[in-house]
Amino acid sequence: MKDQDLYNYILGVADNSLILGQRLGELCGHGPNLETDIALTNIALDLFGQTRSYYQYAAKIAGDGRTEDDIAMLRNERDYKNVLLVEQPNTHFGHVIARQFLFDVYHLQLMNALQHSKDEMLVAIARKGVKEVSYHKRFSGDWLKRLGDGTDESKQNIQEAIDHFWPYTDELFDMTDSDKKIADQGIGVDMTTLKDDYYKQISEVLEEATLTIPDNPYSKRGGKQGIHTEHMGYILTELQYMQRTYPNMTW
Residues 6+ apart with CB under 8 A from 68: 52, 55, 56, 58, 59
User: Does 38 fall in a domain?
Assistant: yes
- Angle at alpha carbon of residue 88, lines to 85 and 91, rounded to 5°: 135
User: Does 207 fall in a domain?
Assistant: yes
pLDDT of 251 reads 58
User: Does 67 fall in a domain?
Assistant: yes
22 in Cβ contact with 82 (< 8 Å): no
pLDDT of 248 reads 78
Q: State the residue range of the domain holding 56.
A: 4-212+224-245
Pick from 208, 209, 105: nearest CA to 158: 209
User: Does 104 fall in a domain?
Assistant: yes
Report H helices in the chain.
4-25, 34-62, 68-73, 93-114, 120-148, 152-165, 177-184, 195-208, 231-245
pLDDT of 51 reads 96
pLDDT of 35 reads 86
Count of domains in the chain?
1
176 in Cβ contact with 170 (< 8 Å): no
248 in Cβ contact with 65 (< 8 Å): no
pLDDT of 250 reads 67
Angle between helices 4-25 and 177-184 (to 10 degrees): 120
pLDDT of 1 reads 63
pLDDT of 34 reads 82
What is the DSSP secondary structure assignment for residue 215, as one 8-state letter?
-
Average pLDDT for runs of 10 along the chain of length 251:
90 98 92 87 96 96 92 95 98 97 98 97 97 97 97 97 98 97 97 97 97 92 96 95 84 58
User: Does 107 fall in a domain?
Assistant: yes
User: Does 219 fall in a domain?
Assistant: no
Integer Cα distance of 185 and 72 in angstroms: 26
- Angle at alpha carbon of residue 202, lines to 198 and 203, rounded to 5°: 115
Q: What is the CATH number of the domain that holds 197?
A: 1.20.1260.10
pLDDT of 11 reads 97
Q: Using one digit for the tens of pLDDT, what is the confidence trace for 77-101?
A: 999 999 999 999 999 999 999 999 9
Integer Cα distance of 70 and 25 in angstroms: 20
